[in-house]
Amino acid sequence: MIRFLSREDVRQALPMAEAIEAMKAAFVQLSAGQADVPLRVTLQVPRHNGVTLFMPAYLSADDQMAIKIVSVFNDNPAKELPLIHALVVVVDATTGEPIAVMDGTYLTALRTGAVSGAATDLLARQDARTAAVFGAGVQGRTQLEAVCAVRPIQKAWVYDVVAEQAAAYATEMSERLSLPVKVASTPSEAARQADVICTATTSTSPVFDDADVRPGTHINAVGAYTPQMQEVPVETVVRAKVVIDHREASLAEAGDLLIPLQQGRMTEEHIHAELGEIAAELKPGRASSDEVTLFKSVGVAVQDVAAASAALDAAQRMGLGAKVAL
């Protein structure tokens, strides 16, 4: 019997606060060498302006295993379809038996937001009160939700190249989070007022200017997941304390890091730590109130394993989903 969980089942089973704690535990295992995470297999589909990724992982300490299939097709929004589609299969690590299939589209947004929440909790100033989100899509929504789960955010800004999407985002998130969310007319208007900046776009060039990043700002950069993509200015990367999700994946895929490395503006030694090392207190986080901190994530399959396993455990307790015999 396989349990099938819909988007709504996953949402009910795994609240953001619990997802954030699951991410911290998963990244501690990753940095401790207690995870088997092959580099994801990338299947380019240029004919349809898309890419499909296959992302398996095994967390040995928790004995959890899963694989995610996720597609990003850039023409989808014009077809009134989601940019991202995903499916997660949870496997019983003791027998190899598939035990659950669940919506991975919402799970991807949830776990991506949750890891930014974990990074914000570990790196942002305690007095952070204003957030700015670049990208008014599904990912941008969970970014703000996660930041608000770990800091008492009192005001937020959103910027998107499509003004209508930013306006819809501001209306929805203001109501959902009970705080004022304003649409920024320019990237500068958003960035220069923010204590925490989140970027969740598919941009190939920086989405804000380095000059607009104030001392003490924390940045979560989660949108650029290929060597050609870039959301954060090189100057910001060079002056920031850089924390990553996974060294191997980041140095293979993160354009925000690879571009300054290729330009000779920094070396690999500029990368301060993996997030799991900070969560485990093996390396320090923020050193001062004026320090700019940058968490760069390309997405690692341990996030999906941890989130899917936590969602499945809760769904079983709550009786969510449908059980189907293959």
The secondary structure element, H or E, covering residue 276 is helix 275-279
How would you label 60-82 residue by residue, b for 16+ Cβ within 10 Å and e otherwise? eebebbbbbbbbbbeebeeeeeb
CB atoms within 10 A of CB 209: 15
Sign of the alpha-carbon dihedral angle for 104, 106, 112, 118: negative
Q: Has 68 been annotated as catalytic?
A: yes
Catalytic residue, chosen from 68, 79, 155, 283, is 68
Quick one: how many helices (H) and strands (E) in the chain?
A: 11, 16
Neighbours of 186 (CB within 10 A): 12
Residues 6+ apart with CB under 8 A from 11: 106, 110
> Measured at the alpha carbon of residue 49, what is the angle toward residues 87 and 199, in degrees to the nearest 5?
70
CB atoms within 10 A of CB 320: 20
Residues annotated as catalytic are 68
